[in-house]
């Protein structure tokens, strides 16, 4: 705790404050905080590729959608236990990531971006054609998933704390992963893949492993999002969601563990506040993002730490 910078203390206070929101009795704020944590998990998964692997994917929504649809379809067929549904949703996302990654990682640069986008759009149109499961209108979940005792996704407070625990677990797991030998190799591939190959590393295997892990975590986020909204739709597979996730990462700070969560919080809070002013809220949001990128490319997370360090001096 002594090694925490002032900026970290600020984020810790914000986190504790969010955890206390259920005690206020304001369901709306609890839902917004839950949404932040869910998208924080998804953004962290994409950051593993973008921030640490240098793999800019425009199709990450595919794994979010696969996890969400697996959750909703299993629930539609009467399987409501989260102990069954969520692991299966993660498994579906993992399998999808393994298949897509095996093909997409044969390419690089703009070709990789376009192939991941193509796969996501293909799955998007498949979901539109699923007439039995709502087609273009999506599928409503009659009931959210249940676990044991008080752990019930139908209870907003219980679901909020469940998402909180999962987000912390994902952050801790990601931190340990990127600080491990695997993470160091992945960052080495980002910096100079040919050099890593000359050192004897199977760079394709490392990138595929990172792609699969990111897909699995993204699918978990999709399962959480399905339970949050009690509804899934093809928009969960659309490239617009992938773009939003990239914005969250850039806004918060790519290549950092906490940056994507900070970016997800900033994005969602700005969306909620600006959309209350005008439906064209992106017109205001765009320039704000440009200012951050132009004047501090490290994102809000790095900007926060920099300001606190300056203030401490």
The tens digit of pLDDT for each residue in 211-269 reads 999 999 999 999 999 999 999 999 999 999 999 999 999 988 888 999 999 999 999 99
Each residue's pLDDT tens digit, 74-89: 999 989 888 999 999 9
193 CB burial (10 A radius; 0-12, 13-18, 19+): middle
* Of the candidates 7, 3, 13, the residue with the CA atom closest to the CA atom of residue 309: 7
Any bridge partners for residue 152, and if so which? 146
Mean pLDDT, the chain, rounded, equals 88
3-class DSSP state for residue 60? coil
* Of the candidates 134, 133, 155, 135, the residue with the CA atom closest to the CA atom of residue 144: 155
Q: Let me know: does 57 contact 49? Beta carbons within 8 Å.
A: yes
Whole-number Å distance between alpha carbons of 265 and 261: 6
- Return the pLDDT at 232: 94
- Return the pLDDT at 309: 40
pLDDT (average), residues 197-223? 95
Each residue's pLDDT tens digit, 274-287: 888 878 788 888 88
- The model carries a pTM of 0.91
Reading the block at residue 69, the tokens are 């649809």
Whether the per-residue pLDDT at 6 is higher than 70: the answer is no
């Amino acid at each position: 705790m002594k090694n925490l910078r002032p900026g970290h203390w600020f984020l810790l206070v914000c986190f504790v404050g969010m955890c206390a929101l259920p005690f206020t009795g304001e369901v709306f704020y609890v839902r917004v905080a839950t949404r932040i944590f869910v998208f924080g998990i998804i953004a962290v998964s994409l950051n593993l590729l973008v921030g640490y692997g240098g793999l800019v994917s425009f199709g990450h929504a595919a794994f979010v959608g696969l996890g969400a649809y697996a959750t909703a379809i299993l629930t539609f067929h009467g399987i409501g236990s989260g102990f069954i549904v969520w692991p299966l949703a993660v498994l579906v996302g993992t399998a999808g990531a393994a298949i897509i990654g095996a093909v997409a990682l044969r390419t690089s640069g703009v070709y990789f971006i376009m192939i991941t986008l193509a796969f996501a759009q293909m799955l998007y149109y498949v979901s539109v054609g699923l007439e039995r499961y709502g087609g273009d209108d999506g599928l409503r979940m009659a009931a959210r998933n249940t676990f044991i005792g008080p752990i019930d996704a139908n209870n907003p407070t219980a679901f909020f704390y469940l998402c909180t625990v999962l987000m912390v677990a994902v952050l801790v797991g990601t931190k340990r992963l990127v600080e491990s030998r695997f993470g160091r190799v992945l960052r080495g591939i980002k910096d100079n893949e040919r050099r890593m190959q000359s050192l004897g590393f199977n760079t394709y295997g490392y990138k595929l492993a990172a792609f699969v892990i990111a897909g699995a975590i993204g699918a978990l986020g999709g399962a959480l999002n399905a339970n949050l909204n009690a509804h899934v739709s093809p928009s969960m597979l659309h490239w617009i969601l992938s773009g939003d996730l990239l914005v969250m990462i850039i806004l918060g700070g790519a290549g950092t563990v906490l940056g994507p969560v900070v970016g997800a919080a900033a994005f969602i809070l700005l969306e909620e506040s600006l959309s209350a002013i005008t439906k064209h809220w992106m017109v205001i949001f765009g320039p704000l993002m440009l200012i951050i990128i132009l004047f501090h490319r490290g994102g809000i997370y790095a900007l926060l730490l920099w300001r606190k360090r300056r203030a401490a001096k």
